[in-house]
Amino acid sequence: MQKIANFNQHELDRFKDVQALAYESVQAVEKQLTEGMTEKEAAQLIKEYLDERGVDSYLHKPFAWFGDRTAFTGFWSDFHFFPTNRKLEKGMPVILDVAPTVGGYTADIGYALSFGQSNPVLEQIQNTLLDIREYILKATLAEKTFQKIYFDVDEMISDAGFRNAHQVYPRRVLGHRVTKTHQSLYDNVSIFGFSSRQLQWLVPGIVKGLFRQRSPLWNDLRESDHPPLPGTWAIEPHLASQDGQTGAKWEEILVITEETAYWLDDNVPHVTQAKSSALQTVAA
């Protein structure tokens, strides 16, 4: 089989399957959300769904953010990312995020919704996020540097009247590499909710980035001042309203090869839902 970004097509299909399972889990939990449910309870439902379907370990265990926490309002340490006892109320924005591993293949996804009623601000953010998705692929194909793409996305966010929330993530990441690992009992050991095996790979990569070597992170720092690197990248633009009450994101795998780039799957929820809405608008 032809190698694509260090993986053959069969291996890429495995990544795709895990990504689809991850999205399946959050959409299943979306249907189970009820008023008064806490972030911790929603995150546990995601984990139970995935554990029952053969997930071996996690790059990171499930996150759930409700209300203004979707905008990362008041986040000043990494511990603020973990699910809390914040209770769900009607009309709240919600973000569900998880990174499962099956058979050594990892996917990292994010999913945004409004609970119980429509949220016009959230819808506007999601429309901007789709524009960003289109731009990231176009700019990657044009071989702009990772850093330049990050800056351009920042400008798109500002022009749309929102603010960049992904700069709150560790190392300000817009994206990061996802890789295949060899399974062992070590995979089930986690540190603060993150897989110890994946951290063993990721942390040295961060150190390399500090010394301008190739980093597994995509951000606006000098470590990303280089053309697109071949590989499988989990991209996660995250936007917030200026008042800090509403946030939304998506996260999915971008495949970059020596010759081209493409989204691993165009049938992810944020894309299919947008297409469905467009068809309904035309029909009306």
The string of DSSP codes covering 81-95 is GS--SPBP-TT-EEE
| Of 161 and 183, more confident | 161
Number of domains within the chain: 1
Cβ(198)–Cβ(177) below 8 Å: no
Angstrom CA distances, 91 to 62, 64, 73, 126, stand at 22, 16, 17, 16
User: Does pLDDT of 252 surpass 60?
Assistant: yes
Angstrom CA distances, 17 to 10, 51, 241, 252, stand at 11, 15, 33, 12
Question: In this structure, what DSSP letter does residue 246 have?
Answer: -
Q: Which residue range forms the structural domain that includes residue 52?
A: 3-283
Cβ(101)–Cβ(47) below 8 Å: no
Cβ(257)–Cβ(267) below 8 Å: no
pTM for this model (two decimals) = 0.89
* Of residues 108, 222, 219, the one with CA closest to residue 153: 219
**Cα gap 238→108, rounded to integer Å:** 14
pLDDT band of 198, cuts 50, 70, 90: very low
Question: In this structure, what DSSP letter does residue 223 have?
Answer: G
Which residue has tokens 């694509």?
Answer: 4
Please spell the DSSP secondary structure of 166-216, one letter per residue.
GGGSGGG-SEEE--B----GGGG-EETTEEHHHHHHHHHHHHHHHTTS--S
Buried b (16+ CB within 10 A) or exposed e, 166-203: bbbbebbbbbbbbbebeeeeebeebeeebbebbbeebe
pLDDT band of 86, cuts 50, 70, 90: very high
User: Does pLDDT of 4 surpass 90?
Assistant: no
Give how far the C-alpha of residue 180 lies from the chain's centroid of Cα atoms, to the nearest Å. Answer: 17
CATH number at residue 136: 3.90.230.10
Cβ neighbors of 58 (< 8 A, separation 6 or more) are 98, 99, 100, 101, 190, 193, 194, 195
pLDDT in tens, 7-46: 899 999 999 999 999 999 999 999 999 999 999 999 999 9
